[in-house]
Amino acid sequence: MNADILILSNGPGELATWVRPVVQQLRQQLGYDRSQVRISVVLSPCPNASGKEVEIARSYPEVDRVQGAEHFFPFLLWGKTAQDWDWRDRGAVLFLGGDQFFTVLIGKRLNYRTIVYAEWSARWHGSIDRFGLMKSEILAKVSPKYHRKFTVVGDLMAEVQVERLTEKDAQSHLELIGLLPGSKPAKLFQGVPFVLASAEHIHAARPQTRFAIFLAPTLDIQTLARFGDPQHNHLIQRLGWGSGELVIPPHPELPFIKTPSGLQVQLYTESPAYKLLSQCRLCLTTVGANTAELGALAVPMIVLLPTQQLDAMRSWDGLPGLLANLPGFGAIFAKIINWSILQQKRLFAWPNIWAKAEIVPELVGKLQPQYVADLVLDYLNNPVKLEEMRDRLRKVRGEAGAAQKLAQIVSEELASSHIN
């Protein structure tokens, strides 16, 4: 075939839940011969970026080349990558995050076919060759003359269920609570001491319960542990929340954070950790793509948005995200934006957005660890409630297969470009 596939993406959530399953399917359908099909990932700036997006993309064995967001606009304007990549005569540009207009410009510059995965809206109907839609409702806003370009593929975030354990394996006798405090410093300042304090309260009532923090792929254990250290995190003493010290035992034992009460919270760095997450009875998590992954795995969760530090949330899309991340004034804008958004009483967790109803609890406000612990204990003491939440997550997560269908569209467009 001798073609290039250029994937446009941006943030860590898109890389984990969109790019990863799609590149796997592209290789399954088009083969692993790099002389025939080469896959490149070009990242654009994103307010959610952690700085490790290039490292994440390079960890995918299906991907051949990766360019970071800092080099994006020179490439967009002049068509030259930082490493002066060559481009084959035939190829496709696949949008998996960022601004859909980038797909139009780059597709025209390279003379490649263009495909957009549209989650909520599809733009530039006359300039894009094909669209893969998350839901059919998007078509209602599209002129009938363009309908031939559109295919409903489903939700890429539902792809993680392919890797789920069997129901028998997932429902182990281990009572494990998963803790997902976030990946960015603004969230971790609150998130780490909050979940440690909550875990101590739960463990005092149910000593058999075990806890594990699942690290985002952009985090290392030393960095995360600092947010549980009162010497590095002023919020711990100010709010009276939990703390702990990092313990790294001899291999092969897992590292853990040891709290003042002696509780050991294990640290898992495997990513994605779907098999381990599937064994959790319940997870305490912040907002983000992790709620979509947990939802797709049908793992019950409680979503935490503590507002003691109102500038912690800076991951909004578009102009709000840019303002919230401005040097110097970003914290002020973040407080104003977050206050305004919280007044709207909107849903934040992906399963709730999918269902248009709160099927997993979203706790927003000046939360206290004891309150959250009491809610967790209520669920653990009433397993029927947990199973009801799990059932609702199964119903709303959608069917797997979006990545396979999107890869098929790319294959069809490459074949079409050969004919043309």
Indicate if the pLDDT at residue 307 is higher than 90.
no
| Domains within the chain, CATH numbers bracketed | 3-154+401-419 (3.40.50.2000), 164-396 (3.40.50.2000)
* Cα(88)–Cα(91) distance, integer angstroms: 7
Give one word for 84, left, alpha or beta, with left for phi > 0 and alpha for psi -120 to 50: left
Length, in residues, of the chain: 420
Per-residue pLDDT band at 162 (split at 50, 70, 90): very low
* Cα(160)–Cα(24) distance, integer angstroms: 12
Nearest CA among 187, 359, 386 for reference residue 288 = 187
Per-residue pLDDT band at 166 (split at 50, 70, 90): very low
Give one word for 407, left, alpha or beta, with left for phi > 0 and alpha for psi -120 to 50: alpha
User: By percentage, how much of the chain surpasses pLDDT 90?
Assistant: 63
In this structure, the number of other CB atoms found within 10 A of the CB of residue 381 comes to 11
How open is the CA angle 41-5-119, to the nearest 5 degrees? 70
Q: What angle, 0 to 180 degrees and rounded to 10, lies between the N-to-C axes of helices 383-396 and 369-381?
A: 90
Q: What is the pLDDT of residue 319?
A: 47
Mean pLDDT of 67-74: 95
Indicate if the pLDDT at residue 33 is higher than 60.
yes
**Low-confidence winner among 112-126, 290-304, 318-332, 350-364 (lowest mean pLDDT):** 318-332
Interval 39-56: pLDDT, tens: 999 999 987 777 889 999
Residue 194, token pair as written in the block: 């909050």
**Contact in structure between 116 and 132 (CB atoms under 8 Å):** yes
Q: What is the pLDDT of residue 165?
A: 47
* Cα(221)–Cα(227) distance, integer angstroms: 10
Interval 179-226: pLDDT, tens: 999 888 878 999 999 999 999 999 999 999 999 999 988 789 999 999
Q: How far is CA 223 from CA 56, 227, 267, in A?
A: 17, 7, 12
